[in-house]
Amino acid sequence: MDADTKRLVQITVAWCGPVFVIGFIIFWAVLGHNVPPPNMMGMTSAQLISEYYGKYQNEIAVGMIGSATMGMFYTPWSLLLATMLRDEDGSLGVLALIEAAGGILTGWLLAFCPAIWAACALLATSVSPDLIKAMHVMTWIIFDCTYMITTIQLLALGAYIVLNKKQATFPAWTGWCAIAIGITFVPLVLMPFVTEGPFAVGGMWNFFFIFSIWLFAFQIPIGYFMLREVMGHKRVARHVLSHAS
Amino acid sequence: MRCRRAEDNHPSLHRYDGRPMTSLQPSRSPGTDGVWTFVFIDMLIFLMMFIVFMSERLRHVDLYSVSQLRLNDIFGLANTLILLTSSWMVVAAIQAALAKDVSRVRWFLGWAWLLGLAFSVDKFAEYYLKIHAGITPATNSFFSFYFFITIVHFLHVIAGMFFIGYCRCAARLRVGTDRYVIGLENVGLFWHFVDVLWIFIFPLLYMVGRR
Amino acid sequence: MQRQWNSPGVVWCILCGLTLLSVALVEGGWHRSVVSIVIVLIAAVKSRLVILKYMEANRAARHWRFLYETWNFGVTATIVIGYVISLRAA
């Protein structure tokens, strides 16, 4: 592959990040009626069907199938990021590999869980509400309580940026931010045990704060510096401005 | 008569017993930019916690007021005084490091660490009494926050104790080097940040609105 | 004289004194809403003392002092405003 083609591939993969963010918001959050998600631990099975799956069945089904597609855009973006975390000898060190592993597993989760929720929507009126609720709750616990796969991705990225003084792609503050954001996911451990408040599945901390900072405070700055790296500093401003107009 | 030097009038260049420091670095900021950045970002995370707490409190004022009465402010007061004293010890250790006084560095860091241990014991005692009384993070929204905020803060205390312990162990070999002083200043920055957090956590959880 | 006031021991005395004052105000049975706001303001003063005298933000780069003092103001405002709104909502 010649250098120009390689650069084109990298730019395309770098844009997978913004595509993931926008696509996931449209499909999972809006169409999926997940702003906020229903308070499953405080609802009966019948309420979950009547107030959520039964009420928005078609939208949720379409939204979740779309999310299963959009979710996997996270993986190539994370792998491109890993290629930017090389050691001085050019090899991918352990931090780059941990970041890559976290990105692959997170991407899988972002596709796998919506697929199950899509099944819940499609089967909502034909199987027992208790079964739907069991699938719904189980999937949310998988989605939230495996937060460590994203936390280790962020911690590895942050550690690389902070400890590697010679790298010039990412400023030090992005590394500290990545570490801090990774740690803020820890209260997700409370999600299965509370029925209300900020640490419930749709709570202000465990839903609004965590998803907001992960999507916006992590993806946007890291994505910007990734694009700047693959496109070159002067070109990215022209590119962004031309798309804005 | 000794001629007055410019640094005679600079308060931060003197030991706090009035004797001039032996290392004169009038233009150097304490610590390193990286740690100032990290601490500031951590402060922002806690600010978000406080915002979310106050927002939830608005929705359940009575619940929060009643639940707050089940906290014993003696624990909070003790922890505040412990952390304030520990911060003082760290400042004194930094002054001793600038004066290249190994034994005083170890003395003050030892006390700082022991006070951190006292905080930990106090915290464990408080958690034990709460859980023994049937209060857990799942009890209600207030106690979810109480455990969340104080446990996250407590983890910072433990990390700080680790750093202080490391600096104390390294003091014998490294006191006298600029690198040690900067490292100790960074540890001090982190420890004072832990203290500042508790300065707000104590009134926020234990005292504001208390009946 | 200024050196003595800047002494970490003196700062510690002030911090502990303010802490005990806060607890005394709460236990003293005065008007709850006024006391609650006063103790948060006392906390802001204590925090500022630690930031300037212990962290030595007054010797750090100017943007750090600005950011840390702004954070101090932000936390204080969050608690005071949140508390005042809760009084009106109750």
CATH code at position B123: 1.20.120.80
Nearest CA distance, B85 vs chain C (angstrom): 7
Two structure tokens written together for B137: 């993070």
Nearest CA distance, C20 vs chain B (angstrom): 8
Ramachandran quadrant class, A36 (left: phi over 0; alpha: psi -120 to 50; beta: rest): beta
C53-68 burial code (b ≥16 CB/10 A, e <16): bbbbbbbbeeebbebb
CA distance A174 to A85: 14
* C52 interfaces chain B, CB cutoff of 8 Å: no
Q: How far is CA A112 from CA A53, A105, A115, A116, in A?
A: 18, 10, 5, 7
Two structure tokens written together for A161: 């940026």
For B96-107, what is each residue's pLDDT tens digit? Answer: 999 999 999 999
| Best CA proximity match to A29, nearest among A202, A219, A228, A186 | A202
Question: How does the average pLDDT of chain A come out, rounded?
Answer: 92
Other CB atoms within 10 A of residue B31 CB: 24
Q: How far is CA A235 from CA A18, A223, A232, A240, in A?
A: 18, 15, 6, 9
* Sequence spans of domains, chain C: 2-89
Report the complex ipTM.
0.93
Residues of chain A with a CB closer than 8 angstroms to some CB in chain B: 162, 172-173, 176-177, 179-180, 183-184, 186-187, 190, 193-194, 196-199, 204-205, 209
Residue B60 phi, psi dihedral angles, 5° rounding? -140, 60
CA distance A107 to A120: 21
Non-local (6+) Cβ contacts of B65 within 8 A are B209, B210, B211
Please tell me the total count of domains within chain B.
1
Strand partners, C2: none
Which of B33, B54, B90 has the CB atom closest to C79's CB atom? B54
Average pLDDT over residues C45-54: 96
This prediction's pTM: 0.82
Give the residue from C18, C23, C52 with the most B CB atoms within 10 Å of its CB, the best one to mutate.
Answer: C23
Report the share of chain C in percent with pLDDT over 90: 77
CA distance A134 to C25: 52
Strand partners, B14: B20
- Please identify among residues 105-144 of chain B the ones whose CB lies closer than 8 Å to any CB of chain A: 137-138, 140-141, 144
- The predicted structure's pLDDT at residue B176: 81
- The predicted structure's pLDDT at residue B196: 98
Which of A172, A187, A199 has the CB atom closest to B34's CB atom? A172
CB A96 within 8 A of CB A75: no
Nearest CA distance, B120 vs chain C (angstrom): 20
Other CB atoms within 10 A of residue A121 CB: 26
Record: contact B12-C79, CB cut-off 8 A: no
Set of chain A residues whose Cβ sits within 8 Å of the Cβ of B58: none
Set of chain C residues whose Cβ sits within 8 Å of the Cβ of B54: 78-79, 81-83
Q: Would you say residue B30 lies in a domain?
A: no
Record: contact B141-A196, CB cut-off 8 A: yes
For A116-133, what is each residue's pLDDT tens digit? Answer: 999 999 999 999 999 999
Other CB atoms within 10 A of residue B4 CB: 8
Q: How far is CA A141 from CA A115, A200, B34, in A?
A: 15, 11, 36
Tell me which residue range forms the domain holding A78.
3-244
CA distance B145 to A123: 37
CA distance A35 to B114: 47
- Beta strands per DSSP E along A53-194: none
Set of chain B residues whose Cβ sits within 8 Å of the Cβ of C15: 84
CA distance B36 to B31: 7
* B33 interfaces chain A, CB cutoff of 8 Å: yes
Set of chain A residues whose Cβ sits within 8 Å of the Cβ of B34: 162, 172, 176
For A127-172, what is each residue's pLDDT tens digit? Answer: 999 999 999 999 999 999 999 999 999 999 999 999 998 888 999 9
Which of B41, B56, B145 has the CB atom closest to A176's CB atom? B41
CA distance A200 to A207: 8
* B42 interfaces chain A, CB cutoff of 8 Å: yes
Q: How far is CA C15 from CA B64, B89, C37, in A?
A: 28, 14, 18
For C1-34, what is each residue's pLDDT tens digit? Answer: 555 556 899 999 999 999 999 999 998 888 889 9
Please tell me the total count of domains within chain A.
1
Positions in chain B short of pLDDT 50: 1-24
Q: Would you say residue B171 lies in a domain?
A: yes
| Best CA proximity match to B77, nearest among A51, C20, A163 | C20
**Mutual orientation of helices A57-70 and A16-24 as an angle, nearest 10°?**
170
CA distance C83 to A119: 45
The count of CB pairs under 8 A between chains A and B is 54
Record: contact B30-C55, CB cut-off 8 A: yes
- The predicted structure's pLDDT at residue B27: 58
Positions in chain A short of pLDDT 70: 233-245
